[in-house]
Structure 1
Amino acid sequence: MTARSMTPAALRWGVPLSITTLAAVLRIAGVGGPGELIFDETYYVKDAWTLWNLGYEGSWGDDPNAAFEAGDVDGYTSEGSFVAHPPLGKWIIAVGMALFGSGPTGWRIATAIAGTLLVPLLYAVAKRLTGSAWLAAAGAALLAIDPLAVSMSRVALLDTHLALLILLAIWFALLDRPGTVAAIRAGTERDPIAGPVVWRRPWILAAGATLGLATAVKWSGLYAIAVLGIAIVVADAIDRRRAGATRWVESAIGRQGPVSFALLVPPALVTYVASWSGWLVTSGGYDRGSSPNPLVALWSYHRAVFGFHQGVTSEHTYASPALEWIPMLNPTLMYRTTDPAGGVGLMAALPNPVLWWAGILAVAFLIVRLGIAIVRRTRVSGAEAIVVAGILATYAPWLLLPNRTMFTFYAITMLPFVILAVLLAAQRIRAPRPPVLLADPTLDEIRAEQDRQAAAADARRTATTVALIVFGAVGLFFLPFGTGWIEPEALYRAHLWLPSWFL
């Protein structure tokens, strides 16, 4: 094999590996600092430690943080503690503590690894959706240096694990498409009225199991199950229509729909319940004794947690309703420090603002394109539909809870889909345009039109390339807000683009 023939393979693997390495360095290097519990780490880290030692979340005495941070991690009791979120995300944190110790590195390392894995996964999804390795690389690089993605990988919260699992389920659903489309086409030739019922969809089983795990991190994973389930039915209907099935709507809903439900939802339920194994097989968990039947007791506990979530309306300096996430009016400040020279360092749930704002416009652009395609009954772009579905699953549900206390770090689950929207919008802008044909054009007119089209295409490619470079430059500029690096005060203040940011 010659060096020339090896180059494409080296680029195919070398580029994403290089970007993943960069992401790993930004997330893992120095993850043990600061050596104190940051923001909601005060809940999840101690819960994780008792999960590992008791099998369920135990209770702690008053003000245990100082002792825990100093290494005295045995201040818990065997009395079960009421917790607001399922256990899987805390189990993942606990594995890191079991492997790397009970200090800050141990309690953050698993989240840092999850945040790192999100980058190559986005690369894979973007390449599948766009068919472009360079656009996929651009998206992965933007995620690798995004301050929201970096900061949420360097604190032991749950949302990065949730983001990884939701995007992984979307990846599995994309892998399902080629085989299912082929099966529908072949089956419709045999049954042109309704088409086939397709049971052999292992990637949907995998997606369901993965979304069960996502729900076992945070209940908001339920929204992703619902949205993906609807998307699968809609995609099946469109595939049957394209294959020529006469009763394509009735078949997709009435015949394939129940099968798709059976492939998606039961695996999710199994993995979700399995995440509660520690609570189920022990006797000390909160409300564990409410029924001799452990599943009935678990249901009782869930009713109590549901009631708690309905009433989460407490005041908080960095509370931010979902509508505020679009302009990022009040990003969550998780940690702040200063040095004797007046330098400032902070970690915040603030995405690359230019990328984020452009991404919101890109999402609107894709929604409009989908709407036009539906109204005109033209071909719907599957790539655009899956990105819009991802936004619906990770953002739209929060709009239904305007009175609930929310924070901008929830937007980490949206961020991969916002970046995908930017990539798709860039690809659509760069795409060739059909020529403007004149009646009986002369040869000179044809050449002039070709030159005009070529110049316009070059301008669009240049504009999108420059935009992506600008996004990357701004991401690097705001990177200290993700890592906590201390900056001179003047440079720190240069980042405060809105008056509500961290003053």
Structure 2
Amino acid sequence: MTQAALTHPPAARATADPDPAPARRGLLHWAADRSGWLGPIGIAIFAGLLRFWHLGYPNAFVFDETYYPKDAWSLLQQGYEGTWPDHANTDILAVPQAVPLGSAPEFIAHPPLGKWVMTIGEQLFGLHPFGWRFMTALLGTVTVLMLARIGRRLFGSTLVGCTAALLMSVDGLQLVMSRVGLLDGIQMFFVLASFGALLIDRDHVRARLALAVEAGEDGDTVRLGLRPWRIAAGVLIGAACAVKWNGAPILAAFGVLTVLWDQAGRRGTGARHPWRSMLRRDAVPAFLAMVGSALVVYVGAWSGWLASGANGGGGYDRHWADGRAGLSPDHVLGLPLPQVPMSWVPAALRSLWHYHSQMYDFNTGLSTPHTYQSNPFAWLVDGRPVSMYWEQVPAGTRGCTSSGGCAAQILGLGTPFLWWAACFALVYLLWRWFFRRDWRSGAVLCAVAGIYLPWFQYQERTIFSFYMVVLVPFLCLAVAQMLGAILGPAGCSPERRRYGAIGAGLIVLAIVGCFAFFYPLYTAEVIPMSSWQDRMWFTSWI
């Protein structure tokens, strides 16, 4: 007879209080889940204050805001991008305001979804700087919250996830792109959301595989069923493609990532042929979920253009296929395409295909020199940031008390200490992935490769460093993972943890301090010219 039986007779045990362990576990789970939200929400509030503070300043069209906010307003009014006279910017900013939108269609270089997102702010607040910047600021803030939760799920640590979010909240490029009406910040949101959906899908699949193996199923033959989170990832990355085309290689990278996770999951359940099983059972469903969903979303983003053809009007090239039976272009990459009758395809879709061929020619052939164009080799080290707004303020005006005059600038500069730390972090992740087979490092590196590497084939084009705002969340994840390693593993000695905390804390403080130093250049704050010069650490920043 056991000691428990001796000390607790059956009758006594029957009337004893119920086991408190389930209640205790429930309380701990509630506390852990709550702590997993409080930190991310607090950091997101901090990020939101930075992004919404004086969002309508400067009261001007900043850099490419001369295109996208007006295109968004045209979509809101007409369903397609119309033309604007040369004096449109002045008329829009004037009091009283005039909006000289024309009905003639305008050729545009990017798909319309990012501008449709921008219309939400313009519908709420009008065609004013605050209105056309509202959605980029909102999505930039939500992205910080998402990153904290994604980092928590990826690394299994609320601290590491919150660190990644804090780093992104103080990144200069992400702040700038959240405070201007450009497309790249919107695309960043969709890309990170897609990555997060794939991460949730991975966890659900692992749980499903574990249950299947417990039930006696073979890891090679188990079917994973409907996967709504992977479909959601396809929808979101399709939205990223419908903002700008550079979402396409990211779609490819994420597609490879999700099937590799499937292969690894099957291998972990003891499958004898995990590669064969993945190719046979997972690859095609993954393609349909990712590419199929993305294609539906992409074409749907053009619904305004497709519906605009009444009475012979509508968007640019909307009626190109009328009276034509073939397709365009005639050549792709110098190779002729067969021109066969295609009248069975709706004319609107053939016109859309032709329009895309013109957009492709424009985007791949753009080589007009620009003062702030740069090579992708310089992007990770902040080699050539883009000056999006510049104003020289004379002494005695707008609070300028410096005898040498003042300056107000918006510079698309990633917080230097953060980006330079990210260069080391990426090397560390490569080591972790190659030598330790760390799937977390591989996931971040896969995203980095899909976002960054494709730009090297366009080095001769007119391209800009601010495109890398899409990369910022993954750089922050990389730095956060490196800081977690510096902090030390959970089982290390107190002394090791103490020194690690000091080292990691000093790096974070240095990054935050660097951001504070450059903050005036992110928000067009009026500062003395000498202070502006102090912040020009390299001549390539001028």
Compute the TM-score of the two structures, normalised by the length of structure 2: 0.84
The corresponding residue for 1:427 is 484
The corresponding residue for 2:331 is none
Segment of structure 1 superposing worse, 88-97 or 14-23: 14-23
Q: 1:211 aligns with which of 237, 241, 262?
A: 237
The corresponding residue for 1:446 is none
Q: CA deviation at 1:16?
A: 2.4
Q: 1:317 aligns with which of 366, 371, 375?
A: 371
The corresponding residue for 1:464 is 504
The corresponding residue for 2:137 is 112
1:106-255 equivalences under 5 Å are 106-187=131-212, 190=216, 192=218, 194-255=220-281
Q: 2:424 aligns with which of 352, 361, 364?
A: 361
Q: Secondary structure at the match of 1:344?
A: strand
The alpha-carbon distance between structure 1 residues 193 and 334, as it changes in their structure 2 partners (threshold 3 A), is: closer
Q: CA deviation at 1:433?
A: 9.6
Q: CA deviation at 1:63?
A: 4.0
Q: 2:39 aligns with which of 15, 32, 36?
A: 15
Contact 1:26 1:483 in 2 (8 A): no
Q: 2:353 aligns with which of 277, 280, 299?
A: 299
- The reply to whether residue 494 of structure 1 matches residue 534 of structure 2 is yes
- Identity among equivalent pairs (%): 34
Q: Secondary structure at the match of 1:222?
A: helix
Segment of structure 1 superposing worse, 326-335 or 17-26: 17-26
Q: CA deviation at 1:130?
A: 2.1
- The reply to whether residue 59 of structure 1 matches residue 83 of structure 2 is yes
Segment of structure 1 superposing worse, 8-17 or 413-422: 8-17
The alpha-carbon distance between structure 1 residues 178 and 14, as it changes in their structure 2 partners (threshold 3 A), is: closer
Q: CA deviation at 1:134?
A: 2.3
Q: Secondary structure at the match of 2:230?
A: helix
Counterparts of 1:132 and 1:241, CA distance in 2: 25
Contact 1:146 1:482 in 2 (8 A): no
The alpha-carbon distance between structure 1 residues 134 and 40, as it changes in their structure 2 partners (threshold 3 A), is: same
Contact 2:91 2:99 in 1 (8 A): no
1:82-101 equivalences under 5 Å are 82-101=107-126
The corresponding residue for 2:343 is none
Segment of structure 1 superposing worse, 469-478 or 356-365: 469-478
Counterparts of 1:201 and 1:73, CA distance in 2: 50
The alpha-carbon distance between structure 1 residues 250 and 304, as it changes in their structure 2 partners (threshold 3 A), is: same
The corresponding residue for 1:287 is 317
The alpha-carbon distance between structure 1 residues 212 and 10, as it changes in their structure 2 partners (threshold 3 A), is: closer
The corresponding residue for 2:20 is none
Contact 1:185 1:240 in 2 (8 A): no
Q: CA deviation at 1:24?
A: 1.4
Q: Secondary structure at the match of 1:423?
A: helix
The corresponding residue for 2:472 is 415
Counterparts of 1:200 and 1:109, CA distance in 2: 36
- The reply to whether residue 352 of structure 1 matches residue 376 of structure 2 is no
Q: CA deviation at 1:160?
A: 0.4
Counterparts of 2:351 and 2:209, CA distance in 1: 43
Q: 2:451 aligns with which of 394, 399, 405?
A: 394
1:363-399 deviation line (CA, Å, top 9, x unaligned): 12101221223xxxxxx32221211112112111112
Compute the TM-score of the two structures, normalised by the length of structure 1: 0.90
Counterparts of 2:89 and 2:235, CA distance in 1: 35
Q: What is the root-mean-square deviation in Å for CA atoms of aligned residues?
A: 2.2
Q: CA deviation at 1:68?
A: 2.4
Q: Secondary structure at the match of 1:333?
A: strand
Q: 1:405 aligns with which of 450, 462, 486?
A: 462
The corresponding residue for 1:438 is none
Q: CA deviation at 1:454?
A: 4.8
Q: CA deviation at 1:8?
A: 6.6
Segment of structure 1 superposing worse, 125-134 or 198-207: 125-134
Q: Secondary structure at the match of 1:58?
A: coil
Q: CA deviation at 1:458?
A: 2.9
Contact 1:352 1:475 in 2 (8 A): yes
Counterparts of 1:454 and 1:95, CA distance in 2: 52
- The reply to whether residue 371 of structure 1 matches residue 401 of structure 2 is no
- The reply to whether residue 479 of structure 1 matches residue 519 of structure 2 is yes
Counterparts of 1:411 and 1:16, CA distance in 2: 23
The alpha-carbon distance between structure 1 residues 248 and 67, as it changes in their structure 2 partners (threshold 3 A), is: same
- The reply to whether residue 264 of structure 1 matches residue 264 of structure 2 is no
Which ranges of structure 1 fall in alignment gaps of 5 or more residues?
374-379, 435-449
Q: Secondary structure at the match of 1:464?
A: helix
Segment of structure 1 superposing worse, 381-390 or 273-282: 381-390
1:69-84 equivalences under 5 Å are 69-70=93-94, 72-84=97-109
Contact 1:195 1:240 in 2 (8 A): no
The alpha-carbon distance between structure 1 residues 387 and 166, as it changes in their structure 2 partners (threshold 3 A), is: same
Contact 2:407 2:528 in 1 (8 A): yes
Contact 1:208 1:268 in 2 (8 A): yes
The corresponding residue for 1:382 is 439
Contact 2:374 2:384 in 1 (8 A): yes
Give the partner amino acid of 1:219.
W
The corresponding residue for 2:71 is 47
Segment of structure 1 superposing worse, 78-87 or 55-64: 55-64
Counterparts of 2:276 and 2:464, CA distance in 1: 42
Greater RCO structure (CA 8 Å; 6+ sep) = 1
1:108-153 deviation line (CA, Å, top 9, x unaligned): 1111111111111111111112222222222222222221111111
Counterparts of 1:173 and 1:250, CA distance in 2: 22
The alpha-carbon distance between structure 1 residues 73 and 210, as it changes in their structure 2 partners (threshold 3 A), is: farther
Segment of structure 1 superposing worse, 493-502 or 357-366: 493-502
Give the partner amino acid of 1:107.
W
Q: Secondary structure at the match of 2:366?
A: coil
The alpha-carbon distance between structure 1 residues 8 and 210, as it changes in their structure 2 partners (threshold 3 A), is: closer
Q: CA deviation at 1:226?
A: 0.4
1:46-95 deviation line (CA, Å, top 9, x unaligned): 11111111100011223422122226443222111110000011111122
The alpha-carbon distance between structure 1 residues 487 and 62, as it changes in their structure 2 partners (threshold 3 A), is: closer
1:223-245 deviation line (CA, Å, top 9, x unaligned): 11100000111111111111111
Q: CA deviation at 1:7?
A: 7.8
Contact 1:359 1:422 in 2 (8 A): yes
Counterparts of 2:128 and 2:500, CA distance in 1: 51
Q: Secondary structure at the match of 1:330?
A: coil
Counterparts of 1:255 and 1:9, CA distance in 2: 35
The corresponding residue for 2:60 is 36
Contact 1:60 1:76 in 2 (8 A): yes
Contact 2:209 2:219 in 1 (8 A): no
Contact 1:188 1:194 in 2 (8 A): no
Q: Secondary structure at the match of 1:406?
A: coil
Counterparts of 1:302 and 1:229, CA distance in 2: 24
The alpha-carbon distance between structure 1 residues 11 and 490, as it changes in their structure 2 partners (threshold 3 A), is: farther
Q: CA deviation at 1:187?
A: 4.2
Which ranges of structure 2 fall in alignment gaps of 5 or more residues?
1-22, 323-346
Q: CA deviation at 1:461?
A: 2.8
Segment of structure 1 superposing worse, 122-131 or 181-190: 181-190
Q: Secondary structure at the match of 1:32?
A: coil
